[in-house]
Structure 1
Amino acid sequence: MAERNVLVTGGSGGIGRAIIHRCIEDGYQIINLDRVAPSSLLKGETHYAVDLTDAHATRDILQRITRDHNILRVVNNAGFIRPGTLEDATLEDFDAVCALNLRAPMLVAQGLQPFMQAARFGRIINISSRAALGKELRTVYSATKAGLLGMTRTWALELAPFGVTVNAIGPGPIATELFLSGNPPDSPKTKKILESIPVKRMGEPEDIAHAVASLMDDRAGFITGQVLYVCGGMTVGLGQVA
C-alpha cells in the first residue's frame, strides 16, 4: 500500500483540508502533519501533531512516521503570512516565515527522498502562491514562495532520474475561512480583488485540491519542474503594458 500513502503538511484546515478530502476520495491513505488536529478525522487519515517551524521536531516526526509508513507522495502545503511593507518587515518575521514556508518543505523532502529513490517513483507537490510574482505588503511571504519555486525546479532536475516528479501550485485568491475573515464579501477591498479576477469568482479550496490530484496521479510522470497557477486567470498578461 506504499503507493497509496500521501503526507500532507498543514492539513487540518483551509486548502490543506480540501486536499485531504480529495485525496481520500481518490483512494489514498493520509498522514496529516499539523500543529493542531482537525475538528474530526476522516476515514483513512492519521494526524501527527508537530510544529513544523521546529527543525528538530520535524526531523524526529519524519523518522518516526517513515518507520511505520512508506510514503511516496507529499504535499508541502503548510505556510503562513506576516503582512508588511519593506519598511515594516523585521528579522523576526523573516525567520519565522522562512522556517515554515521554506525550511520545512526542504526537511520534509529530505526525509522522504530516500524512499522515493529506492522505489523509483515519487510525487512532490509544493504549494507556492501567486504572490511569488510580486504583491504589495508581502516582502517576506513572497520571498519564501518564490524560493519554493526555485527549490521545486532544482529538486525536479535532481530527482528526475529516479522517477520522482516535483511540481508547484500557485494559488490566487482562495475563499478559505482565514481569507474571508480578513476580507468580508461586501468590503470594497474584497470587491476590488474579485474585479481583478478574469473568471469573476473567488477560488475555492477544492480548485487547488483538484490541481494537486492531477499532479499526484501515476499518469503525471512526464510533468516535472512546473508551476501551475490556479488563479482564475490573474497571472495572464502580467507585466504587459496597456
Structure 2
Amino acid sequence: MSGSGYTISEHRPDASETPRLANPDAFKGQTVIVTGGTGKIGLQICRSLAASGANVVVSDIRADPVHLLVKELTAEGYSALAVPLSAVEGKKIVEQTLQKYGSLHAIVQPIIAPFQFIPFEKMPAEEFRNTFESDVMGPIAVMQAAWPHFQKQKYGRIVNFTSGAIFGMELASTYPTTKGALLGLNKTLAEEGAPYNITVNCISPVGLYMEKQAKGVQDMLAKANGPFLKASVPVANVPMVLALAHKNNKASGEIFYTAAYGVFRHSMGMTTGLTDCTTVEKCLEKVPGIMDRGFRQIMEPFSAHALGEYQAAYFLGTEKDFKAPSHL
C-alpha cells in the first residue's frame, strides 16, 4: 500500500514455489503469449507453461523482470521469448512472436494495473482512463492482432482475467469497472470465435501472499476469511488457467472463479420476474417480489439474441417451451 493506492506484492517466488501442474508435454509444440507475465500470477503461469513444453512469450511493461524470467527459463532448458512491451502494443507482441516461432496457439492475460482506494466522488477521471487503457484496451490489442491468425489456422485459446470485484469493491471504483468490461467481450468473442475453434474464457482469481502484503491490505483481507486466503496463493489459480489454454478445452464464453485450488463457475442470468409493470406505482410495488431470492429459476442466456427470445417467450407466456441455447 502506497498512500491510498493498491500495489501488487513485490514477493517474487523462486522456481521451488511452482509445483508441476501438467504433464511435461501437455503444451508441446504450442506457442503461448502471456501478457502481464511477470506479475504474481503471470510469473507462475509462465513457469508452468514452460515446464509443460510450451514456447512461452513473456510480455510485460517492466523490462528487467521480463528479461530475468526468460533468462531463468532458458537456463533450465525451456523455450521462452522476452517481449518487454505493454499489452496495448499487441500488434508488435504478436509480430515478434510469429517472427520467432512462426506460430501462435494461445493467449493468457493476467493483467492488472495498480489502482487507487479513493471515494468515487474524488476519483480522478484520469484514473479510470489509465486503468481502462491497461486492463481493457491492452487485452483487446493483443486479441485483435492475433485473431486473424487464429481464424486462418482455425484454432485459438484465449484466457482473460476478470475479478470478483465486479460484485462491488468499496473505494476502488476503477478496478471493478475495467474488469467488468471484459465480461461482455468474453461472451461476444466466444460467439464470433466458435466457427473457427477459438475459445475465449475469463478467470476470476484469488492470488495473495498474505504475509507479503502491506499491513493495510492484510487487515482488509483477513476480515473476509483469513485461513481461506492464506491457502489462495497465486499458483493455486494456474491449473485452471492452463486447462482453458489447452487444446482439449471446449468451454467458451465462461467465467471461472479460482482460489485455493478450487474452481467455481460465475454465471450471469435473469430471474423469472414479474409482468404487468405498467406504471411507476406498480413497479415500486412489485420491486420486492422481483428481488425476492425465492425466484430460484435463473435463465442464463448464451447470447443477447437468446435473451431477447426468452423475454419475448415470457411475455407471451410460453417460456416453459423456450428452446433457445441456454442453461436453466
- Shorter-chain TM-score: which interval? 0.7 to 0.9
Q: TM-score, normalised by structure 2?
A: 0.63
* Structure with greater contact order relative to length (CA < 8 Å, sep ≥ 6): 1
Q: Report the Cα distance in structure 2 between the residues aligned to 1:105 and 1:236, rounded to whole angstroms.
A: 22
Q: Give the 3 Å change call, closer, same or farther, for CA 91–6 of structure 1 in structure 2.
A: same
Q: Give the 3 Å change call, closer, same or farther, for CA 115–127 of structure 1 in structure 2.
A: same
What does residue range 1-242 of structure 1 map to in structure 2 within 5 Å? Answer: 4-36=30-62, 37-38=64-65, 39-41=68-70, 42=73, 43-52=78-87, 55=88, 57-69=89-101, 70-83=103-116, 84-172=118-206, 174-176=207-209, 180-183=212-215, 187-195=218-226, 199=228, 201-221=230-250, 223-231=251-259
Q: Give the 3 Å change call, closer, same or farther, for CA 180–7 of structure 1 in structure 2.
A: same
Which secondary structure does the structure 1 equivalent of 2:57 belong to? strand
The alignment-based identity, stated in percent, is 24
1:211 CA drift (Å): 1.2
Which secondary structure does the structure 1 equivalent of 2:236 belong to? helix
Q: Report the Cα distance in structure 1 between the residues aligned to 2:156 and 2:219, rounded to whole angstroms.
A: 44
Say how many residue pairs are matched: 231
Q: Report the Cα distance in structure 1 between the residues aligned to 2:194 and 2:224, rounded to whole angstroms.
A: 38
Summarize deviations over 1:162-187 as a string: whole Å, max 9, x none: 00100000013x2148x9332479x5
Summarize deviations over 1:139-195 as a string: whole Å, max 9, x none: 1110110111111111001101100100000013x2148x9332479x543421334
Q: Report the Cα distance in structure 2 between the residues aligned to 1:168 and 1:183, rounded to whole angstroms.
A: 30
Runs of 4+ with >6 A deviation = 233-237
Q: Report the Cα distance in structure 2 between the residues aligned to 1:240 and 1:20, rounded to whole angstroms.
A: 45
Is this contact kept in 2: 1:9–1:77, CA < 8 A? yes
Higher Cα radius of gyration: 2
- The letter of the residue matching 1:97 is T
Summarize deviations over 1:93-121 as a string: whole Å, max 9, x none: 01110011000111100111111111111
Q: Report the Cα distance in structure 2 between the residues aligned to 1:6 and 1:126, rounded to whole angstroms.
A: 13
- The letter of the residue matching 1:31 is V
Q: TM-score, normalised by structure 1?
A: 0.84
- The letter of the residue matching 1:104 is G
Is this contact kept in 2: 1:170–1:228, CA < 8 A? yes
Which secondary structure does the structure 2 equivalent of 1:153 belong to? helix
